[in-house]
Amino acid sequence: MKLKNTLRTVRTAAALTALVLAAPALADEEAELVINGEIEIVTKTTAPAHLEGHLDEILSGWRFRSDETQAMEMDDFDNPGMLGAEAGFEQFETVMGTEGKSCMDCHEGVDSLASVRPTYPKWNDDKEAVYTIQMQINDCLTERMGAEKQKYDSVTMLNFEAALASVARGTPMNVAIDGPAQATWEQGKEMYYTRFGQLDLSCANCHEQNYGNMIRADHLSQGQTNGFPVYRIKDNKLTGTHGRFKGCIRDTRAETFSPGSPEFVALELYVASRGNGLSVEGPSVRN
């Protein structure tokens, strides 16, 4: 067993040595994010208690981006992700399905749902399961509006998420991990520290042990999800949390899970809880 663990450590070190090069600790350690000159965003704060022994401080991915990318998020006119949010506002008022209803028939407006983004994923008593925002939206579409179920991480779903995130900007993440959600949270935690793929890497290897370093041309962040959905410049579109998870696992040269899968729901709950205390800042801009 000792030899097996030693060999695993050697493989992990070799993989990271091949990918990661030393870099300055942060893109700008003193950077502060204020959106539109008025929405103050907490991008650095004390880590939640459950991360004791792992991290003392948590940092938004915004702090690891270039000055140019940071600036794009500071003004809604420059943030291309806000086009998705605007489309989400329109969807909110659009009648969908056989019941002749829009979201407005049950809610006063997107602003009335400003508490949604900071608290999801969360336990759904009726379904007896942890629900993500997209799962909840699909229930509303199919069960209340008579509309067709949307594919996970579809453009429609990401637009809805972008709208919900935009009205919650500045609100601290506060995802519950106790009670009936705890078992799912524990599952997500185990997954976070599990090595995947031919590169034998876990989420923690990059985002806990090597944040601040460079992996190829990317400045490794802590992998916080408070900025999702994110507009990725390299993809020229909004990306959801599960889409990013899928890409990360694929990059370890492993067979990945699907967006909306129980595995990714559990992982989202755990990773979201690691950012408790950071402000919601989506739709954010990333490389």
**Cα dihedral: 126, 127, 129, 135 (round 10):** -110
- Would you call the peptide bond into 259 cis, given omega within 30 degrees of 0 as the criterion? no
Residues 272 and 24: their CA atoms lie apart, in Å, by: 26
Report whether 54 belongs to an annotated binding site. no
Residues 16 and 241: their CA atoms lie apart, in Å, by: 24
Closest CA to 54 of 198, 162, 205: 205
Pairing of strands 284-286, 230-232: parallel
Distances in whole angstroms, Cα of residue 24 to Cα of each of 44, 46, 65, 217, 287: 17, 21, 12, 13, 18
H helices of 20-60, where?
none
Does residue 196 carry a catalytic annotation?
no
Report whether 286 belongs to an annotated binding site. no
Report whether 203 belongs to an annotated binding site. yes
**Of these residues, 167, 168, 220, 248, which one is catalytic?**
248
3-state secondary structure of 231: strand
Report whether 242 belongs to an annotated binding site. no
Report whether 106 belongs to an annotated binding site. yes
Residues 243 and 221: their CA atoms lie apart, in Å, by: 17
- Would you call the peptide bond into 121 cis, given omega within 30 degrees of 0 as the criterion? yes
Which residue bears the tokens 């755990």? 270
Report whether 248 belongs to an annotated binding site. yes
Report whether 195 belongs to an annotated binding site. no
Q: What is the DSSP string of 5-30?
A: HHHHHHHHHHHHHHHEE---S-S-TT
Distances in whole angstroms, Cα of residue 223 to Cα of each of 11, 91, 115, 170, 254: 23, 29, 22, 19, 19
Residues 113 and 106: their CA atoms lie apart, in Å, by: 11
Q: Which residues are catalytic?
A: 248
Task: Output the known binding site for heme c.
Answer: 103, 106-107, 140, 203, 206-207, 248
Task: Output the known binding site.
Answer: 103, 106-107, 140, 203, 206-207, 244, 248
